[in-house]
Amino acid sequence: MKPQQAGEQAVRLLLVEDDRETSAFVTRALEERGYDVETSFSGTDGLARAEANDYDVLVIDRMLPELDGLSLVRRLRTRGSRVPVLFLTTMSGLDDRVAGLEGGGDDYLPKPFATAELVARVNALARRTAGEATQLSVLDLKIDLLRRTVQRAGRPIVLQQQEFLLLEYLVRNAGRVVTRTMLLENVWDLQFDPRTNIVETHMSRLRSKVDRGFEVELIHTVRGAGYVLRAD
């Protein structure tokens, strides 16, 4: 999702989360990135707000007082609402995820979660509302931002959370050299250098998954500058 430009209307988001600390953390993270965040602390209040207002994205906790998050979303869906929903929850089992998605959720983020992961998932849902592309591709590499899947030449590539975010950032900046500092800020949400090899380690793993076994390498090291994804 592109940064909000002057004069543009902010993406409107409803956060339904009864834990005040989590609510404050999520609100701060999204407002810093230009979102207009409205908060609710119960399922009944969240349902009333969602029905009375037009939101671009809903971020809903599964475990809520008065009305649980899954029931909230089911009611919205039966009443015709198609607004994208991201579930936040400590219920991270496979059956819980399936229930959430089958109940009308569009994405599912287990707690605890990293800020970068939260923002990436909300961005993907906001793009759907705005009609922006939710799939990226370079050569035979394809990324589905909503399903969080990657394929190359039709072959599925399984990535860990930070590997996916790293690849997404590289693809969005295809042909452009990105520095270590840029990766730390945009993928790990770090405004300082932790003086570890976190970038190099993840880049090595990502390259082995994306390039190994393929004739054309996509991820390249630019000595003294950083990295670039390009199809030479």
| Residue closest to 210 by CA, chosen among 159, 169, 173 | 159
Burial class (CB in 10 A: 0-12, 13-18, 19+), 165: buried
CB 28 within 8 A of CB 50: no
Quick one: pLDDT at residue 108?
Answer: 87
Report the residue count for the chain. 232
E strands, the chain, are 12-16, 36-40, 57-61, 85-89, 107-110, 135-138, 141-144, 149-152, 155-157, 219-222, 226-229
Give mean pLDDT, residues 81-86: 90
Quick one: pLDDT at residue 6?
Answer: 36
CB 116 within 8 A of CB 122: no
pLDDT tens-digit map of 129-166 = 776 677 889 999 999 887 789 999 999 999 988 899 89
Strands 219-222 and 226-229: antiparallel
Burial class (CB in 10 A: 0-12, 13-18, 19+), 119: buried
- Asked whether the whole model's pTM tops 0.75, one would answer no
Query: What token pair was written down for 187?
Result: 């993928």
Quick one: pLDDT at residue 3?
Answer: 41
Quick one: pLDDT at residue 132?
Answer: 67
